[in-house]
Structure 1
Amino acid sequence: YSNVRRFLQKGQTPPAEAVRTEEMINYFRYDYPLPASRQAPFSVTTDVAQTPWNPDTRLVRIGLRGYDVTAQGRPAANLVFLVDVSGSMSSDDKLPLVKRALTMLADKLTAKDRVSIVVYAGAAGVVLDPTANPKHIRAALDCLEAGGSTAGAAGIQLAYDIASANFIKGGINRIFIATDGDFNVGVSDNKALEAMVKKYRDSGVTLTTLGFGEGNYNEALMERIADLGNGNYAYIDSAMEAQKVLDDELSASLFTIAKDVKVQVEFNPAQVSQYRLIGYENRALAEEDFDNDAVDAGDIGAGHQVTALYEVVPTGAKGWLPDRRYDGNRPPAPSASGRELAFVKLRYKLPGEDASRLIEKPVPASLLRTASTPSGDMAFATAVAAFGQKLRGDKYLGGYSYAAIRGLAGNPQGYWRNEFLKLAQLAAVQEVRSAAKD
């Protein structure tokens, strides 16, 4: 979302491959209830609304929320800051912003935590040995300067060595990479980098990537290695964004409450003839892998939320696919109507456990029949979903406009949601400029 924002604020249309609709939806928090206990660490919320851009379909929202912890309630943390200080990091939106961002993170730590700092440019080196002293951490960050080429592989290996040497059993062991993503020297094979990340992930050291600046920025690689490292990825373009990621949402970045989280939704063909998941193109899970505990999936942090939106075609309504001429090509008529619209299954492992647990929740068919126009949180999530799809040029939106998207979002409260309205306006202006050039 923040990378898309960067393009729009510069008066540019973001490339379609830079727009991941599910990440835009999940940039915002929604009013999901807290889970009842740590043994069942998620609440599961489902609701249904009419689709603003298609009167023949409905939107099904599935929302997860993990339980929250305070800094005192989480385990001790062994953190390694791996900072790119190559010459490409010299601009104000890179290393100076990295230093401010990591200072915010350090200020949120407690006496039981330890922070190390590793830098890499022409060579990799240790700037700060493990310490809990915030003054030492700030001083080490203050002295960082940019210069030289980038040797990412050596820096990452050194960071893993330090994280492993100071490993806290039962604690949080994580590396934060802060870079513009320019791994142009030292990593000749991304497969070797990915194998390294996987190996240390399995040993308990996770990885978060923080992207800064532009130019040589390799967002795809940043996201990929964060996914493989059971961490998270963020693009930080301002001090406000740094505060959001490394202060307001720090618990979700640090403390894992569930591992290998997988969600599976089965729609009842008596109620739904066609469906599509909005976004998540690079996070799809093979159906046969849902019950396989050996297949790695994403981890969820404390207080973290996940929102998924499906657009569904009620049985009997006009869908996206044309009618078939021959009986053999038509789906058989459902034998019974049923009381369920869908069935949601959530599989996860608690930290320290190898066997997965299962949460199941039916979605009543009555929600489909009583669906009304989106309102409140559902309206805002739908507006963001429409925004992402429109930026990508997805075919399902038809002529749904940026003005309609802004109207759907309403008059939201809070800085981030209000900023969304401004971005929708910027996108509309850019659309007019592009049309004028054509």
Structure 2
Amino acid sequence: MSDDRTDDDLEALRRALAREAAPAPDPEARARAMALALENYDRFQGRASGLRQGKDRPAGAGFLNGVRRMSGSFFSRPLLAATGSVAALGLALVVVMPNARLAEPPQTAPDAPEADARLAAAPEAGGGAETAGAPVPAAPQAAEPRARSAAPQTFAADEAMPIAAPPAPDLALSKQAADAPVRALPQGDSEAFANAPDNPLRVTAEDPVSTFSIDVDTASYAILRSSLRAGQLPPREAVRIEEMINYFPYDYPAPENGTPPFRPTLSVTRTPWNPETRLVHVALQGRMPAIEDRPPLNLVFLIDTSGSMQDPAKLPLLKQSFGLMLGRLRPEDQVAIVTYAGSAGEVLAPTAANQRSTILSALDRLDAGGSTAGEEGLALAYRTASEMAGAGEVTRVVLATDGDFNLGISDPEELARLVAHERDTGVYLSVLGFGRGNLDDATMQALAQNGNGQAAYIDSLNEAQKVLVDQLSGALFPIADDVKVQVEWNPARVAEYRLIGYETRGLRREDFANDRVDAGEIGAGHSVTAIYEITPVDSPARLTDPLRYGAEPPEGAHGDELGFLRLRYKAPGESTSTLIDTPIPDMLTEASEDVRFSTAIAGFGELLRGSDKLGAWGWDEAIALADGARGADPFGYRVEAVQLMRLAESLSR
């Protein structure tokens, strides 16, 4: 029956066409078709972003570019114009659908959070660490040693770090960098960043002691990355060099059983930008306990659902990020959700972490709208956390926000005092920033630093994977609280010194032994790196002359020491600190791969801040140094950094 009906329909169409004369050519329709065709051509050839695949394309892109060149010869503008009559005739012959129009050009790829949201569907209850449609890499924990390259490159102690040629142009993009879309930063931003002027050069004879709190935050690196990917240099005040250095995992020696929870490692190398000075690396590596030995975890997700969180890079990405974390929690862990906008409320009562469908459903129901009652939300989150806390357990509030507090307390210092008061109850606070445009980094830093927590910025699911999955133990499980560093430099050996970064973490000399003064925490498996540039007393690079009436150091006093390192920390839950100390030997060491890479990142930060400390050392040297120290780099963090450095160099011109 269906075949007969089809034949009848075709025959009726033939008769209708035979009766109707071909429509007369329409000059206006032809002109409209030609204009639209040329417009589509121009839009295909130059997208709104204006970006082109350059010589830095990933390996294997040559074939695709060859296809593009071939298609370009077929679809050149003159040839398209010459064949416009055929297009117009084809349009005129469409008599069944007189309102038909040429197809619009395809839309550009969706932004990261929207695309990632579809790729990383919510995991089912009881599943593993993967998400439907987008398997999550089974990455090792942060403390596991990175694989070394087959033949690591080292340099003799009396050699300066070499200035190599810039990397070859076929350097492949990491998957993380390649997958990241280009997003323009919002216009009319009101962002605020926490920073301070560069640490000054200190004269050892006048000020021999340097004291600071450790910092394992990573927000600054992710923020500057989002700026560079948007085609803009980051604001100078957004660049915190210590957070750039500590963004990357390093293979420092781990502490042995029965020793303090972290181990210091010291190295002294020549400075790549000034062969007459030295760099002293102070590295700490935290212990990674066995996963089965970690205590139960109580998490309160404190989620900003105000109107400013509507952007796809904010609340939608936030939901997916927390969804990734759930696969790494254990059945004895608990999760609660508190939200705040015009007012605060509990969306999910404390729930066992293996009830993933219940938790994900609560996340999925969240919508953005209203003002930002941050103070009220914090108070409710802390009350919820205190009710969940049990003996021997770790309890933490994880605040996810763009930092735009505009109801109740909004001043960073007042919020810091509120959090500091709650810190004494033993509840930790971590802060995750989302989105750009009104990012209040200053408030986020004040909260994290006073809440014994980490501040991170999440700009993609890749970053959420790194912070909330791969480094979950380090982000959530503390092994040492109030960790302070103090270095006393020997004036007989060191004329001048400066600490690179840590401007917002400086402490007074008397704060070091005062257990009432707060400092940073080290999480399980965390590494911490600090770099000093020092000038030997006999170096021609010395910038200050000895004082005429200054006290001369006694001859031969600790002549084999550049200085003395002291560390203080508290075991979690304790109120009294423990002291670790060790001399810094006056001996050049080989520049390991980790030392060279962290030095390159320090130089990257100095260049972004417009520092005058580097002399003629510039982008080419920084890129070459980082590229030569990439190593195995299993997750592409280091190769991504090299790409960002090259992008920053181009933008700086």
User: Which range, TM-score by smaller chain?
Assistant: over 0.9
> Hey, what does 1:42 align to over in structure 2?
262
Give yes or no for contact 2:500–2:532 (8 Å, CA) kept in 1.
yes
> Hey, what does 2:579 align to over in structure 1?
358
What is the CA deviation profile of residues 275-300 of structure 1, one whole-angstrom value per residue up to 9, with x for unaligned ones?
Answer: 11100011011111211222221121
Q: CA RMSD in A?
A: 1.6
**Using the alignment, how far apart are the partners of 1:351 and 1:141 within structure 2?**
31
Tell whether 2:400 aligns with 1:178.
yes
**Using the alignment, how far apart are the partners of 1:295 and 1:181 within structure 2?**
25
How do residues 19-98 of structure 1 correspond to structure 2 at under 5 angstroms?
19-37=239-257, 39-98=259-318
For residue 339 of structure 2, the aligned residue among 119, 137, 141 is 119
In the superposition, the TM-score normalised over structure 2's length comes to 0.63
Give yes or no for contact 2:426–2:573 (8 Å, CA) kept in 1.
no
Instruction: Quote how far apart the aligned CAs of 1:187 are.
Output: 2.5
Give yes or no for contact 1:274–1:319 (8 Å, CA) kept in 2.
no
Tell whether 2:429 aligns with 1:204.
no
> Hey, what does 2:624 align to over in structure 1?
407
Tell whether 2:565 aligns with 1:344.
yes
Which secondary structure state, in structure 2, belongs to the residue aligned with residue 169 of structure 1?
Answer: coil
> Hey, what does 2:140 align to over in structure 1?
none
Based on CA coordinates, which of the two structures has the bigger radius of gyration? 2
**Using the alignment, how far apart are the partners of 1:57 and 1:389 within structure 2?**
16
Give yes or no for contact 2:296–2:333 (8 Å, CA) kept in 1.
yes
Instruction: Quote how far apart the aligned CAs of 1:265 are.
Output: 1.2
> Hey, what does 2:651 align to over in structure 1?
430
Report which stretch shifted further, 77-86 or 66-75. Answer: 66-75
Return the letter of the residue paired with 1:142: D
Report which stretch shifted further, 251-260 or 332-341. Answer: 332-341
Instruction: Quote how far apart the aligned CAs of 1:48 are.
Output: 1.2
**Using the alignment, how far apart are the partners of 1:331 and 1:214 within structure 2?**
53
**Using the alignment, how far apart are the partners of 2:427 and 2:465 within structure 1?**
24
How do residues 36-435 of structure 1 correspond to structure 2 at under 5 angstroms?
36-37=256-257, 39-132=259-352, 133-323=355-545, 327-328=548-549, 330=550, 332=552, 334-336=554-556, 338-367=559-588, 371=589, 374-411=591-628, 412=630, 413-414=632-633, 415-432=636-653
Report which stretch shifted further, 266-275 or 54-63. Answer: 266-275
Give yes or no for contact 1:71–1:109 (8 Å, CA) kept in 2.
no
**Using the alignment, how far apart are the partners of 2:560 and 2:650 within structure 1?**
46
Return the letter of the residue paired with 1:269: P
Give yes or no for contact 1:343–1:362 (8 Å, CA) kept in 2.
yes
Which secondary structure state, in structure 2, belongs to the residue aligned with residue 57 of structure 1?
Answer: strand
Which secondary structure state, in structure 2, belongs to the residue aligned with residue 396 of structure 1?
Answer: coil
Return the letter of the residue paired with 2:585: P
**Using the alignment, how far apart are the partners of 1:74 and 1:192 within structure 2?**
34
Return the letter of the residue paired with 2:301: F
**Using the alignment, how far apart are the partners of 2:362 and 2:304 within structure 1?**
14
> Hey, what does 1:10 align to over in structure 2?
230
What is the CA deviation profile of residues 289-337 of structure 1, one whole-angstrom value per residue up to 9, with x for unaligned ones?
Answer: 211222221121111111000001012102453436x622x56255216
Instruction: Quote how far apart the aligned CAs of 1:364 are.
Output: 1.6
Distance 1:316 1:202, change over 3 A: same
Give yes or no for contact 1:81–1:117 (8 Å, CA) kept in 2.
yes
Distance 1:39 1:171, change over 3 A: farther
**Using the alignment, how far apart are the partners of 2:298 and 2:258 within structure 1?**
23
Instruction: Quote how far apart the aligned CAs of 1:214 are.
Output: 0.7
Instruction: Quote how far apart the aligned CAs of 1:130 are.
Output: 0.5
Instruction: Quote how far apart the aligned CAs of 1:38 are.
Output: 5.5
Give yes or no for contact 1:269–1:334 (8 Å, CA) kept in 2.
no
What is the CA deviation profile of residues 179-206 of structure 1, one whole-angstrom value per residue up to 9, with x for unaligned ones?
Answer: 1111122334444322221111001111
Give yes or no for contact 1:85–1:147 (8 Å, CA) kept in 2.
yes
Which secondary structure state, in structure 2, belongs to the residue aligned with residue 428 of structure 1?
Answer: helix
Report which stretch shifted further, 335-344 or 61-70. Answer: 335-344
**Using the alignment, how far apart are the partners of 2:376 and 2:359 within structure 1?**
22
**Using the alignment, how far apart are the partners of 1:352 and 1:125 within structure 2?**
29
* Higher-strand-fraction structure: 1
Instruction: Quote how far apart the aligned CAs of 1:354 are.
Output: 2.1
**Using the alignment, how far apart are the partners of 2:335 and 2:291 within structure 1?**
15
What is the CA deviation profile of residues 93-123 of structure 1, one whole-angstrom value per residue up to 9, with x for unaligned ones?
Answer: 1111101111122221111111000111122
Which secondary structure state, in structure 2, belongs to the residue aligned with residue 72 of structure 1?
Answer: helix
What is the CA deviation profile of residues 388-408 of structure 1, one whole-angstrom value per residue up to 9, with x for unaligned ones?
Answer: 111111221123211110101
Aligned length: 426
**Using the alignment, how far apart are the partners of 1:297 and 1:38 within structure 2?**
24
**Using the alignment, how far apart are the partners of 2:289 and 2:486 within structure 1?**
27
In the superposition, the TM-score normalised over structure 1's length comes to 0.94
